[in-house]
């Protein structure tokens, strides 16, 4: 949650910070604010609502700024999204300003201590506690903001990224992190801080991965990183391999539309370089030795949201190819139910951002139980890959729209690669079998492109359902998680009730929901790969249609057996059964996006949501 930007250098700080916030607004858009130094004096501006409100306020009240500033775009946790609760927060003397991502769990105790010392609070947030503590510690440490930040962090509990500036040292930005993302951008005579490299990618592609419990002191010509006790810290520097244009809309009205269209390329990029010269599958980022993987007796997949649905699909592929028991867990529930883990368990953590707090805490729990952990992630250098034994990056590029599209499909591809790699190292599939499946995967970008070129009827259908109150989704086998993903997209974007069921469960209760005119989307499995299930789901379609449902059927091209029972038939290319989610999901993405647009919703920034959930 929340987007943070910091800058120090020769450029106009306000412009740099606000531009960075615009690239991070997907992380939260309940409010936004900036703090700058002007002639050495601290000035702030903040507004509830989207960044446009802050821009209007800055335009109405122009100000000059020295080359230093911080900014914040908020997803509210403590305190309602109001002007007063927006960040930055300042101390009573307007001496120091701080922005914050995360939750300070012991803030109530700290606030009580401050109030007993006479401190007056102006907001409902946990963040304001830090501003007052920093002010006290600045006095204690003779204006040394770095020392003050280290001292404050030693008292804080929870997950946080903190960034601060102070009148005491007008050339310095100080930041700290614990369990919350923060990356440094190294420029030429200027330096940057942000929750995500997208904020500064237009200025530099050289980044520094800030480690756990570290403090960075940023000046225009220097970067100093220590731990909370002041000792020099080890860091990793890396180069970002995409540029600013990759995060721009590229002529599309919305990022989501662009990202749906980018899916063929994203799949191809995720597959790139995975096959060695000798034809074997090679995963360079794995870091888990074949000997370790041969000892695995159970796999547990942990994930949230769309990533959880990718994990459900992965279960079918992994168990089919590897014959290893595979469980799929909602990450937020995982560690609270006392799961059975041991050194022979492989935990696969799926997270687009690599910062999802629920998934991160599941990873840490698994490591405590001595299980092996493999991350599937889209963000290089993020926390979950760093804390895992291995990682498979999805190479989807930046995804700005809050609802997962191309990152979901590339997670599926990564899961297929993991399943095939496990089958290879455990000797369960011959090289020619693996190469055949890899060949099928290599053709998927073309098949997804074909779907994208034929979805205009889906858009028309979606607009016709703009007044619908609810939509049900049905599926079997891998089509069931696809149905779940379709329902989630509709909830996220159109703010309407949508629910997915395993089609075989209809007669066990859900069929009572069917009434005249109710739209029901049915994902039909392949006739070739799962003929028994295909016939059963055709029977399900007949059952709901007989009770008045409006049937919207997603089926393979040439599947004439479903046509008589389909009020609307959406045809997708015939592909192998386990790979069908790669093509079957795309019409559901378009359906949800178009229906939401017909309702007048912002599909890039759905209400109450943020791209990366960095609090539990």
Rounded Cα gap, residues 133 and 139, in angstroms = 10
Cα-Cα-Cα-Cα dihedral sign, residues 551, 555, 557, 561? negative
The answer to whether 455 and 481 have CB atoms below 8 angstroms apart is: no
Rounded Cα gap, residues 614 and 354, in angstroms = 10
Q: What is the three-class DSSP state of 232?
A: strand
Q: Any idea of the CA torsion for 413, 417, 423, 424, to the nearest 10 degrees?
A: 150
Place of tokens 């089609």: 503
Write out the catalytic residue numbers. Answer: 2, 611
Radius of gyration of the chain (CA): 25
End-to-end CA separation in angstroms for the chain: 11
Task: Give 47-116 as a 3 state SS string.
Answer: EECCHHHHHHHHHHCCCCCCCEEEEEEECCCCCCCCCCCCCCEECCCCCEEEEEEEEECCHHHHHHHHHH
Nearest to 420 by CA among 433, 410, 411: 433
Rounded Cα gap, residues 2 and 70, in angstroms = 13
DSSP per position, 314-371 = HHHHHHHHH---EEEEEHHHHGGG-----TTEEEEEEESSS--HHHHHHHHHHHHTT-
The answer to whether 191 and 223 have CB atoms below 8 angstroms apart is: yes
- Which strand ranges, in their side-by-side order, compose the sheet holding 497-502? 497-502, 470-475, 519-523, 550-556, 568-572
């Amino acid at each position: 949650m929340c987007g943070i930007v910091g800058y120090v250098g020769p450029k106009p700080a306000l412009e740099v910070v606000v531009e960075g916030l615009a690239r991070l607004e997907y992380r939260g858009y309940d409010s936004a604010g900036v703090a700058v130094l002007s002639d050495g004096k601290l000035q702030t501006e903040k507004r509830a609502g989207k960044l446009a409100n802050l821009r209007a306020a800055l335009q109405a009240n122009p100000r000059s700024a020295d080359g230093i500033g911080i900014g914040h775009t908020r997803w509210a946790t403590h305190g309602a999204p109001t002007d007063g609760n927006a960040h930055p927060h300042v101390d009573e003397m307007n001496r120091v300003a701080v922005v914050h991502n995360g939750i300070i769990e012991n803030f109530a105790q700290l606030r009580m201590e401050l109030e007993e010392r006479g401190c007056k609070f102006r907001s409902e947030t946990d963040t304001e506690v830090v501003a007052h503590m920093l002010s006290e510690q600045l006095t204690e440490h003779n204006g040394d903001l770095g020392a003050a930040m280290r001292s404050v962090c030693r008292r804080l509990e929870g997950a946080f990224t903190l960034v601060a500036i102070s009148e005491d040292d007008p050339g310095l930005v100080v930041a700290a992190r614990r369990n919350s993302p923060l990356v440094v951008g190294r420029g030429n005579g200027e330096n940057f801080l942000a929750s995500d490299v997208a904020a500064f990618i237009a200025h530099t592609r050289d980044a520094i991965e800030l480690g756990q419990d570290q403090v960075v002191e940023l000046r225009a010509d220097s970067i100093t990183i220590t731990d909370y006790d002041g000792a020099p810290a080890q860091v990793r520097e890396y180069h970002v391999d995409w540029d600013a244009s990759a995060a721009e809309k590229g002529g599309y009205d919305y990022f989501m539309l662009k990202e749906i269209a980018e899916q063929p390329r994203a799949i191809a990029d995720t597959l790139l370089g995975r096959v060695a010269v000798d034809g074997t599958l090679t995963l360079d980022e794995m870091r888990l030795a074949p000997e370790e993987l041969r000892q695995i007796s159970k796999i547990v997949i942990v994930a949230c949201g769309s990533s959880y649905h990718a994990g459900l699909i992965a279960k079918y592929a992994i168990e089919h190819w590897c014959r290893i028991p595979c469980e799929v867990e909602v990450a937020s529930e995982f560690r609270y139910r006392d799961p059975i883990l041991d050194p022979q368990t492989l935990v696969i953590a799926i997270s687009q951002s690599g910062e999802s707090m629920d998934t991160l805490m599941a990873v840490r729990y698994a490591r405590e139980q001595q299980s092996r952990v493999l991350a599937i992630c889209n963000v290089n250098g993020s926390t979950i890959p760093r804390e895992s034994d291995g990682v498979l990056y999805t190479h989807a590029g930046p995804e700005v729209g809050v609802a997962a599209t191309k990152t979901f499909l590339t997670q599926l591809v990564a899961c297929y690669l993991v399943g095939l790699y496990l089958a290879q190292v455990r000797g369960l599939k011959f090289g020619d079998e693996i190469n055949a499946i890899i060949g099928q995967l290599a053709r998927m970008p073309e098949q997804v492109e074909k779907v994208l070129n034929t979805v205009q009827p889906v858009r028309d259908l979606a607009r016709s359902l703009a007044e619908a109150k609810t939509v049900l989704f049905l599926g079997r086998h891998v089509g069931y998680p696809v149905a779940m993903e379709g329902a989630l997209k509709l909830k996220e974007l159109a703010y309407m009730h949508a629910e997915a069921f395993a089609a075989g469960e209809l007669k066990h209760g859900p069929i009572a929901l069917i009434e005249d005119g109710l739209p029901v989307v049915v994902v039909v499995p392949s006739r070739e790969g799962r003929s028994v299930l295909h016939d059963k789901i055709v029977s399900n379609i007949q059952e709901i249609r007989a009770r008045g449902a409006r049937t919207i059927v997603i089926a393979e091209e040439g599947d004439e057996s479903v046509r008589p029972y389909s009020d609307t038939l959406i045809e997708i290319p015939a592909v192998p059964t386990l790979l069908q989610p790669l093509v079957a999901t795309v019409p559901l993405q378009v359906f949800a996006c178009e229906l939401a647009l017909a309702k007048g919703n912002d599909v890039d920034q759905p209400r109450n949501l943020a791209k990366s959930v960095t609090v539990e």
